[in-house]
Amino acid sequence: MGETPPAGAHVAPTLVAASLQGLCPRCGARTLFAGVARFAPTCSSCGLDFSAFDVADGPAAFLILIVGAIVAGAAITVELAYSPPYWVHLVWLPVLIGLTLAGLRIGKAGLMYQIYRHRAGEGRITE
């Protein structure tokens, strides 16, 4: 059935684990990020060059729509249900920042994982 990998062998993480924990797509070490949402240049565990993968603005574009819809919907619901003073709506700023940063990390890590796993790159046309 399932054999255990030899000691010292790298075990590739799942998409969910890599996305939520910022794991290297090759070895599974927690080395993907060097900042809040900035990739490290390389994996300090297996040496994978993260700069070779271009995730561009794909995660950010979807994130703007998703987080914006969530926060706008919540703000409208709170306003219509409770009619609080306007200063209460300042709470949405930290919520917006928190959801954006968390979502950006998850989205970028997930896209990096998919690019690595599927060896995605620029399209090539052969004739």
**Model pLDDT for residues 67-106, shown as the tens digit of each residue:** 999 999 999 999 999 999 999 999 999 999 999 999 999 9
| Bridge partners, 33 (sequence order) | 39
DSSP sequence for 95-122: HHHHHHHHHHHHHHHHHHHHHHHTT--S
Least Cα distance to 93 among 69, 75, 107 occurs for 75
- pLDDT, residue 121, reads 73
| Bridge partners, 39 (sequence order) | 33
Query: Which residue did the predictor score with more confidence, 122 or 48?
Result: 48
* Residue range 21-41: mean pLDDT, rounded: 93
Task: Report pLDDT digits (tens) over 1-24.
Answer: 445 555 556 788 999 999 999 999
Can you give the pTM of this predicted structure? Answer: 0.81
Judge contact between 31 and 40, C-beta under 8 A. yes
Q: How buried is residue 56: exposed, middle or buried, by Cβ count under 10 Å (0-12/13-18/19+)?
A: exposed
| Bridge partners, 42 (sequence order) | 49
Q: Which residues contact 91 (CB under 8 A, 6 or more apart)?
A: none
- pLDDT, residue 1, reads 47
